[in-house]
Each structure stands twice: as structure tokens, then as C-alpha cells.
Amino acid sequence: MERERKNRWAGFVVGPAIVFIALGAIWKNENRFDYHQAAKKTQPTASVEALVPGKRFSYTGNMDQQLTLPGQYVDAFTGYLEVRRSAEIYAWEKDTDSDDRVTWSRRWMSRLEGNSRNSGLTQQLSSRTFTPAQYQVGELTVDGARIELVDDAVTIRPADLRITDAALQSQGDYLYLSKGQSDNLGDERVRYTGVPVPSTATYFGKAEAGRGVADTSRARSGMINALIQDTGVLHHIVAGERETALATMAAHISRLQWIVRAAASVAVIVGFNLLFSAMLGFLYSVPVIGGLARSGSFLLSLVFALPLILVTMLSGYLYANPLVLAAIAVLIVAGVFGLSRRKQKTQKAVYRDLETQYGAKLQTLSMKELEFIELAKLVFSDDHLDPKEEAFLRRWARKQRWSDDRFDAMLNRAKELGAGGPPSLNATEEQLKNLIRLALADGDLSRSELHSIQHAAKRLGFDQGRLARLTQQVQQMARSNAAQPV
């Protein structure tokens, strides 16, 4: 019970923390430093003597493919811009589930886990990145500090290297350190990957004292930026001529962005799942959410996480691209203006049709009164008003703030105009068109007006498709009449 209580409180703390960090990663990923665009804006330079201090530039030249980097467990690495060494140890991993059940497993891990079964084990091999103090691209010397590489790395086989530590052995892609245990517990291994030196490369960065140095004017810091690998630094050596190098950079940043989007989205869902799993008991009685909670915390996590992910991603993108936001705003304003002009034209044309049809009545009765009369005439049947229909008309009148006396007077007026037996199909269709014209007289169909028209159409046996066609006919005829000279 005590363990379950601790897990629950851990869910309350860890879940929201994961969500917060993951959403921050999504936001910052959309606002990340675009080193491809920064590189694209650099000024190509053909001569080192022409470099302007403090200015961004690009320079293309040949590279020495015999570039040598120092080793540690091996003699040296030849022909690589950068070499990364990843160290692992074979040890016990302890996993405790929500029911306080412990599971032990042995696996390769980058760091030795502190638990009772790993007592006495030590990790001797370490991870590290090897880079030179400087690079030479043609006649240009490039500072090796804070260098950024986007070309693909390859695996370096220890069999191709000279091992300097007698305790280490070459095993496939790994350099292996055996501890002599029968179960291999405590054994260690390292794996090397490196970015090969290209024959031709293009450098993008800043000039200083005739050298290429890191441009840190937009440098990024902080945990989340480090997590998504956004340094904000332009200091890149990329294989190929300028255009080829730019294409490589564009593909690299696009791939990196999508990886972060996918990983951070999964993290948001996991974070919500941890939170909702911890508070599942509290959510069962909550309306709407309770039903989702009973379906499982994962489903509830998706319902909350997916909209939040999309909103964060979209808002972050628009914040980082104000021109896109401005273009959308212009399109919205233009659309609203166009719809307003169209609404005004439709309103004038419909009013002209109504003047032709109703004549003097249009001067003595308001549009709402005429609309009520047409609506009432449509719901009459053999001079009898069904109680349900009367209740519908009264609700309509109350929305217009009519008194009971005014309602009765207008209802009697509608009965007088609608007397004479049941109308023909063509007549009812024309009456429905009149009702649509009256509703459109202000230029638009409100929600209540549309509901009234749909109610009358249903009463007459008109389906939604036919009603939509009638509405389109009225609007098209109005616009056609508006186009004709008065």
C-alpha cells in the first residue's frame, strides 16, 4: 500500500513534468535556429585574404583525407572529422512495477546502475568525442572548437585500428574488455563511429583574424535546447560544393525536426498517461471525462495530448514564421471582406424580390412579421394548427421578444392569408422559398432562422438535400437579379 501511494504521488509529479518538458521541446523545435537558412545567406568567398572580420561567409576547398585524431585505447584515427566513442557495461537492471514486483535482467547499459546485484562492479571504459584543435579547408584554417557536423557517421571497426591497451580485444564492431566472469557480468565494450573527411568540403561560419570561427550570436543554452540539439551556432563543415552542402544541411535539419516532433509527442502522451493513471480514481465520477477514464488512462491521454500537441506545434511554427502568420491574417481579412460584399449584394437583391412580391405589405409589416406569417402558413394543415406546431411558433415569437397579444394578432393574420384549403406542392415550395428570401433579407441565415426553415421543410416532407437546393436557387436568383441593370 505504501509503495502504491508513492507511485501515485510520483505520477502526479513526474507526469506533468514530462508533459511540460515535452511541450517545451515541441515549441522550441518549431523555433529552433535554422542553420540551413543561415548558411544559405552567407557570402561565398573564394580567397581567404578577402575575408571581412566579423562577417558570415562560406568557403569551399579540398581537405586532407589523412587528418589524424589522437586515440586512447587505440593508437590514432586517420581520415575522420570527428570520432565518437560509446562505452557500455554488461550489468544488472532492476525494474519495479506498480504492484511492487521486482524484475531483474542483465543487459548492456551506458552507465552502471546502482543496485545490490551490481555491488562491487566498476566501469573502466568511458564515452568520449575526439576532434582536432583545427581543420584545414583549402587555404582556410577552421577552429575546431564547437564545430558542427551534419554528414552521416560510419562505424569504425576496431580491426582496422591498432589497439594500444593489451586488456582490450577486437570483437566485431566493438573493442571488448572481459572481466573473466562465467556470466560475462561486468564486461565492457566500446564502439566507434566517425564522420569521414571528404575530399571537398564547404565551410559556413564567421571570419576572425583570417580564420573560420563559430558564430555564436544566436547561441542557445538550457536543458531543452540541449535535449533537441539546438545549439544556435553556425560553424559547419559539410561535404561537397556549396549547393550540395546546403542540400545536405536542409535534409539534416528537416530530419532532426521530425524526430523531435515524434519523440516529444510520444513523451506528452506518456506524461499524461502517468498523470491520469495516478488520478484515475478521482476521475471516475467526473461527467464526460469519467466515461473516458473508465475506457482507460491511455485513451484519456490521447484525447488531451493530441490537440495540445497540434496547437503547440502550430503556434510555435507561426511564431517562428511571422510572414506566414501575416499572410494568413491577410487571407482571413480578405475573405471576411469578400463575404461581406457578397452578403450586401445578396441582401439588396433579395429585398428587391420581396418588394416585387409583397408590395405595400413590405411597408406596413416588418421582415420578422412577414417571416412569421410565411412560417405559420407553412405549418397550417386544413385550417388546423397542431399543438406542437403552435408551441414551436410561440418559441419563435419569444425569441423575437413578442408579447402574447402580438403573437395572437400575427397568428390570426397568417390564418386569414393561409385560408382556402391545403396548398399544392408547387405552392408550398414557393412558400418555402419566400421564407428563405425573408430570412436572407438581412444578408445571412442565422442559426434560429435556419432551424425554423428546417422545421417547416420537415413538416412539408422536404429532405435536407432538397432544402439546400432551394436555398441555393434563391441565392443564385438573387445574385442574377442583382447583376441586371435596374
Confidence at residue 422, expressed as pLDDT on a 0 to 100 scale: 47
Q: Give me 193's grid cell.
A: 563511429
DSSP letter at 383 equals: T
C-alpha distances out from residue 314 to 23, 31, 253, 309, 330, Å: 12, 11, 18, 9, 18
Residue type, 189: R
Give the angle 73-79-80 at the CA atoms, nearest 5°. Answer: 70
Confidence at residue 425, expressed as pLDDT on a 0 to 100 scale: 47
Residue 212's nearest CA partner among 146, 132, 150, 143 is 143
Residue 279's nearest CA partner among 289, 269, 287 is 289
Distance between CA 480 and CA 346 in Å, rounded? 10
360, 397 Cβ separation under 8 angstroms: no
85, 127 Cβ separation under 8 angstroms: yes
Report helix angle 297-320 to 322-358, nearest 10: 100
Q: Give me 82's grid cell.
A: 570527428
Q: Which residues of the chain have pLDDT under 70?
A: 1-11, 97-100, 279-297, 339-340, 342-367, 377-386, 416-431, 433-450, 452, 459-460, 474-475, 477-486
Q: Identify the bridge partners of residue 109 per DSSP, sorted by sequence position.
A: 89
Mapped onto helix, strand or coil, the DSSP state of residue 106 is strand
78, 67 Cβ separation under 8 angstroms: yes
Interval 88-102: pLDDT, tens: 999 999 887 656 678
Confidence at residue 410, expressed as pLDDT on a 0 to 100 scale: 80
Mapped onto helix, strand or coil, the DSSP state of residue 362 is helix
Confidence at residue 21, expressed as pLDDT on a 0 to 100 scale: 94
78, 196 Cβ separation under 8 angstroms: no
Confidence at residue 301, expressed as pLDDT on a 0 to 100 scale: 80
**Quick one: 332 exposed, middle or buried, by C-beta within 10 A (0-12, 13-18, 19+)?**
exposed
- Give this prediction's pTM: 0.68
Interval 182-223: pLDDT, tens: 889 999 999 999 999 999 999 999 999 999 999 999 999 999
DSSP letter at 148 equals: B
Confidence at residue 62, expressed as pLDDT on a 0 to 100 scale: 96
Confidence at residue 364, expressed as pLDDT on a 0 to 100 scale: 57
354: left (phi over 0), alpha (psi -120 to 50) or beta: alpha
Q: Give me 437's grid cell.
A: 428570401
Confidence at residue 486, expressed as pLDDT on a 0 to 100 scale: 46
